[in-house]
Amino acid sequence: MIVRNYFRFRNSIRNGVWPTSTNNLGVACAFSVYLLEYEPASAQAITAYLKRAVQGLPLPSKTPRWLANLIGSMGISFIFFITLMKVRQYLLRILLAYRGWMYENVREVSLKTKLWSLTVKFVSGYQPSLYSCQRSLPRMPVPPLEETLGKLLDSLKPLCSEEEFKEYTKQANEFESTVGPRLQRLLYLKSWWAPNYVSDWWEKYVYLMSRCSLLINSNYYALDNYRWTPTNRQVSRAANVVYSILNIKRKIDREELPPLLLRNTIPICMAQYERLFSTVRVPGEEIDELLHFESCESRNIVVWRKGLFYQLSIYDDKNQILSVSVLERLFQDILDDADKHKECVSESERSVAALTGLPRPEWARIQKEFFTSGINKDNMDVINKAVFMVIMLDKSPENISDKGKILLHADGRTLWCDKSLNISFFPDGQCGLNVEHSMADAPAMGHVWEYAMTMEVIEKRYLDNGQVMPPPKSFKQSNFTSHRRIIWDITDALEKEINRAVLFNQKNNDDLDLEIRNHDKYGKGVIKKARVSPDAFIQIALQLAYYRHSGRFCQTYEASATRLYQSGRTETVRSCTEEAATFVRAMVSGRLPKEELLKLLRLAGNIHQKLYRDAMNGRGIDRHLFALYIVSKGLGYESPFLESIIRRPWTLSTSQQPQQQIQANIPDINLEPFRAMCSPGGGFGPVSDEGYGVSYMLPTEYNIFFHVSSKKSCPTTDSRKFSDILFKSMDDMRLLFDTPQLE
């Protein structure tokens, strides 16, 4: 408790005064005392001012000169320090609002941007803590209404018939001339007093008010290494990964993790890290609630094995994290105990976790009826307050796609979907994550996961026999509480609900069609030779693949981060543009020469890149329209225009996964020994029942991983077929710049 309060107090001071430092106060005070005591001739004007200030202090007449000088210096230095702090904070916020750097080529930076970058570095403080930069981040601006509507109509051109487009144009013009400006003014007002004009509504209405099951529909998964596993011992891998994640959790709690910087200069919002651990999404009949527990309350993890739950303390009496050797031994004890007692526990009790996969109103009703008293309530409190869940599986995946399915939904009775993090470990040493989405977006948890995976690569964590490296002899583990098994009270009525939940989950799981593939013919290294953004190239390839697959274009969602602003989360990039559609039609027709097709590809790529930068810059389309829609509902306005736009399905929901977020000296992943150690990233379920969910990662210069999901119940979707067409489309696009003279 004392240590926690110390770090909290220290960090509140550091964050409050950043980009200045309390050292500035000490230096200013010492310099003032020096001037008053020694009166150097070179600083007579400053010394005279300080003397007048000291003489004006209401001090007793007999106060010694040195004491008066000290008191006066402290007061003057404090005023100077506060002034300097406010000026630097305000100046830094103004500087960080500049976005010219984003639209410039990295190799052709303007003089203006170079001077701006130097000024930002000069004004910024040294060694900021995790949340030091938060106050200096600008607030996300509300885009002009006319601009948003214009971009919206441009995005609809390749998707609508001429008659539909005319109707949308008519509705947009009517909206802009009637209710739109009033809704816009209210958004302006909110943007002035709230940290972010849309993020709180996005969390509430898109995530917490969603009533569908979290399995597949909301939670996402992440894989570990591709073709490399550091040990084939399940308990050893679990001990090391859990230990690494607990270490980074402690860094987050103490704010010792440095904030992420773009181009080593521009800070981004780190607010999402606060709820990565010790967080649970509690179901409600109409809206869920996110509960986050402080580290003093959250001091255990919960381990699942063959349907049995175990509470495991992760700290000893001296508040040290349990060593990897101790964790390895405790995990083995849990496996042995679960294997021994599995047959003593009913199948319904071993399937309690299935309830978390039900639609939220049903799970809320069941939780209220069966889990608000007695031993079940105590068990729920233990799980809710746990740092995270550890899932010790008893069967290894057959292939990488099977692995993704297990991590995303398992068998419908394994994952505790409400928890912010479930870490699953397979018998052969492989592992992965299942993450609840409402508390944070994928890059934040991806950063944590990348840290854990990287530590296994750059440090020797295992002995030759696969067991963990023991801690140094100097380390002394204090006493700690051993694990205990959690026992549920299962009534006949609750058993029926559990059995129904298992069937519901298994039906949904069986409907998921997931295909994970490695495109290793080329990667971003080759794409860059075409002078096209790799992300734009893949998005255009997706448009070509979908057109070849379905014979039409579809509304496409690509997630972009808005973390350059306070409390920023995501924005949508509508990547099915008129320019992309023109290129796709030309490719399919086969009438144009390579040179012309390459020009169309580059034009479409440039347009996509601008849209992506606009989205990062807070000048996207969909979050603005969403906020306008929420305001209209709050005021009781009916807007057929907003209703029709908001309800258009996202047939292709896509996302590029972040990588290399660790700011440290780590091996080059493009080197041959490390390519197999990269992570393929993760994925999610389809947003539309008649569409695809596509996530992709470009970990090296030589390959690209794709995660393609769809519903088997939809007769027009097939993840394997779509992946085949996508890879063929990428091969065809490669031919456009495979000739040296075109590069």
Which helix (H) or strand (E) is 640 found in, with range? Answer: helix 640-646
Percent of the chain with pLDDT over 70: 99
pLDDT digits (tens, 9 = 90+) for 226-238: 989 999 999 999 9
Q: Which two tokens stand for residue 596?
A: 């012309």
d(CA 717, CA 681): 23
- Region 395-420 average pLDDT: 97
Distances (CA, A) of 264 to 112, 268, 637, 727: 17, 11, 46, 35
Confidence at residue 19, expressed as pLDDT on a 0 to 100 scale: 85
Tokens of 108: 């052709």
What are the residues facing 682 on neighbouring strands?
Answer: 222
What number is the average pLDDT over the span 551-575?
A: 97
Residue 177 burial (C-beta neighbours within 10 Å; 0-12, 13-18, 19+): exposed
What distance in Å separates the CA atoms of residue 73 and residue 584, rounded to the nearest whole number? 71
Confidence of residue 26 (pLDDT cuts 50, 70, 90): confident
Residue 310 three-state SS:
strand
Q: Report the candidate in 158, 145, 151 with the shortest Cα–Cα distance to residue 652.
A: 158
For 523, the token pair is 């990667």
pTM greater than the 0.85 cutoff: yes
Mean pLDDT computed over 238-266 = 94
**9 sits in which H/E element:** helix 2-17
pLDDT recorded at residue 741 = 40
Terminal C-alpha separation, the chain: 62
Angle between the N-to-C axes of helices 162-177 and 145-156, in degrees from 0 to 180, rounded to the nearest 10: 170
Share of the chain above pLDDT 90, in %: 76
Domains plus CATH for the chain?
2-136 (no CATH), 145-204+520-658+668-742 (3.30.559.10), 217-512 (3.30.559.70)
Long-range CB contact pairs, 531-536, < 8 A, 24+: 531/602, 532/601, 532/602, 532/605, 533/605, 533/608, 533/609, 533/612, 534/698, 535/608, 535/609, 535/612, 535/656, 536/604, 536/605, 536/606, 536/608, 536/609, 536/612
Tell me what the pLDDT averaged over the chain comes to.
93
d(CA 199, CA 562): 10
Least confident piece of the model among 179-183, 245-249, 312-316, 453-457: 453-457
Half-sphere exposure of 565 (CA within 13 A, CB side): 25
CA distances from 227 to 36, 673, 676 (A): 69, 11, 5
| Selection from 558, 564, 554, 562 nearest residue 535 by Cα | 558
Helix, coil or strand: residue 549: helix
What's the pLDDT score for residue 2?
65
Cα distance between residue 704 and residue 695, in whole Å: 11
- Please tell me the predicted confidence (pLDDT) of residue 742: 40
3-state secondary structure 238-288: HHHHHHHHHHHHHHHHCCCCCCCEECCCEECCCHHHHHCCCEEEECCCCCC
The total of other beta-carbon atoms located within 10 Å of residue 702's CB is 18
Residues 6+ apart with CB under 8 A from 422: 388, 389, 390, 391, 415, 416, 433, 434, 435
**Which pLDDT does position 243 carry in this prediction?**
97
In angstroms, the CA 538 to CA 575 distance is 10
Residue 355 has pLDDT above 50, yes or no: yes
For residue 151, name the pLDDT band (cuts at 50, 70, 90).
very high
Angle between helices 442-458 and 234-253 (to 10 degrees): 120
**Residues acting as catalytic residues:** 437
**Could you tell me how far CA 258 lies from the centroid of its own chain?**
16
pLDDT at 308 over 60: yes
| Sign, Cα dihedral of 193, 199, 205, 209 | negative
Beta strands in 498-586, from DSSP E residues, in sequence order:
512-519, 556-561, 570-574
Token pair belonging to 468: 């963990």
Give yes or no for a contact between 652 and 666, defined as CB atoms under 8 angstroms apart: no
